[in-house]
Chain A
Amino acid sequence: MDLFSPDEHDLIVELMNLGVGRAAHALSQLVNDEVLLSVPRLEFISVPEAQEAFRKDLPPFLAGVLQDFEGFISGRAALLFPEARSLELVNAMIGEELSADEITELEQETLAELGNILLNHCLATLANQLKQQVKTDIPRAFNSSVSELPCNLNLSANDPNNTLVMLVQIDFSLRHSALRGYLAFVIDLQSADSFLLALREYLAELL
């Protein structure tokens, strides 16, 4: 999607990097250990492209955290993992050995907070750096098959022509675990206008 110019794209990546870096800092303080998170790839795709990308790139079963946001951009954000490895991440965070196959209530909650910290930092950094406001709802952990994912992300409820998906691939490395997850921001295109405006204002000061 050519909605954003290369500079605008670059700016978003940079702001995502900032947000993720701060989230890594916040997480490392919670777990008293180094947490490395990297953002190697970011792409903007349409709803049909997103559905195609999910089917292709993601494992059949996913665990994740959802969080709604509203402000200069509005929509729903998600952190997605292969289902089994989400547990690995939680266990690495709390320093426990791998537990049962099933994720427990407490682990579900820990995963939700992990997503909460990441998504909040990304959204807050976007908003703060662009001198805008965003409000987030509380996080919800979920498990789903890849075919149910569009429903979880609210993709189908929105008008596909009015929705934009920002997909960010993110690599986690903490303690002895290294795994890859995705951040998906499903952005309501009506709010994408104010997003674009904010990006352009920021760039206008630089360029």
Chain B
Amino acid sequence: MTDSTPLNILLVDDSRIARLTMKHMLQSLEMSLNLLEAGSADEAETVLSTEHADIALIDFNMPGRDGLELAAVITERYPHIRMALVTANIQDALAQRARDLGMEFLPKPASVEQLGAFIRQDT
């Protein structure tokens, strides 16, 4: 991955503060990243219909459709997007359902190291 082509990262979280926190951490990675934001599963689909994304970081617990429901749609329509479920609910059963959808599972709040590893594909 060269620095000249920035990675497009879609943040999906109903909390603006959670997105801000995530942005802060991503910025501290000092990588060339282009951030897209959505406050719900519906919004995420709208964003993806016009914008290109390489990676999606998705909150689990959101009003309306939850993160896994969104992930199922993305897997089908945009199979190239790598996804991680970011949630404070770190139960094995949930982690397993995320992995079954081919997602990474990151505890919330994720550490900068965990985020970096996922984005650099070190995981």
Contacts and interface: CB of A to CB of B under 8 A. Distances in A.
Interface of A: 7, 10-11, 13-14, 17-22, 24-25, 28, 33-40, 129, 203, 205-207
Contacts of B36: none
Given A18-B109, A24-B91, A7 B61 contact: no
Nearest to A129: B109
Nearest to A21: B88
Contacts, number: 56
18 contacts: A7-B16, A7-B17, A10-B17, A14-B15, A14-B17, A14-B18, A17-B15, A18-B88, A20-B88, A21-B108, A22-B88, A22-B90, A34-B94, A36-B94, A37-B89, A40-B63, A203-B17, A207-B20
B61 A38 contact: yes
Contacts of B94: 34, 36
Given A28-B92, A206-B20, A206-B21, 4 more contacts: A17-B61, A21-B89, A28-B91, A40-B63
A38 B93 CA distance: 16
Residue of B17, B20, B91 contacting most chain A CB atoms (<10 Å): B17
Contacts of B92: 28
Contact of B61 (A11, A21, A35, A129): A21
Interface residues of B, number: 19
A24 B93 CA distance: 12
B14 to A, nearest CB: 8
B77 interface: no
Most buried by A among B87, B89, B90, B92: B89
Interface string B12-53: 000111101100100000000000000000000000000000
Interface in B84-108: 87-94, 108
Contacts of A21: 61, 87-90, 108
Nearest to A24: B89
A36 B20 contact: no
Nearest to B66: A38
Nearest to B16: A10
Nearest to B91: A28
A80 B98 CA distance: 31
Contacts of B109: 18, 129
B88 A17 contact: yes
